[in-house]
């Protein structure tokens, strides 16, 4: 599933499976931030493809719980 997200005042499209979008939304809600803010946080720390970085972020977040 592809979504458009605004990061640092520019629009970008991200393709992720629906399960990853669901988990990212849940993480953002737990952290009390918007989905865009969460994606921007991951974007700032990544070294590669944003979609891959988001998948790894979800995996690491869930493993840390």
Identify whether the C-beta of residue 57 lies closer than 8 Å to the C-beta of residue 42. Answer: yes
Can you give the residue range of the structural domain that contains 31?
2-63
State the total domains in the chain.
1
pLDDT of residue 41: 95
Does residue 10 carry a pLDDT above 90? no
Q: What is the pLDDT of residues 25-64, one digit of tens each?
A: 999 999 999 999 999 999 999 988 999 999 999 999 999 9
Give the pair of three-digit tokens for residue 25. 């939304």
pLDDT of residue 65: 67
- Tell if the pTM clears 0.75, that is, is over it: yes
Q: CATH number of the domain at 57, please.
A: 1.10.3990.20
C-alpha 41, offset from chain centre: 8
How far, in Å, CA of 41 to CA of 58, rounded?
A: 13
């Amino acid at each position: 599933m592809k979504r458009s997200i605004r990061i640092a005042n520019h629009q970008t499209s991200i393709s992720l499976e629906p399960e990853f979008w669901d988990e990212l939304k849940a993480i953002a809600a737990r952290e009390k931030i918007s989905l865009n803010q969460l994606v921007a946080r991951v974007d700032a720390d990544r070294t590669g493809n944003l979609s891959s970085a988001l998948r790894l972020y979800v995996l690491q977040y869930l493993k840390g719980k």
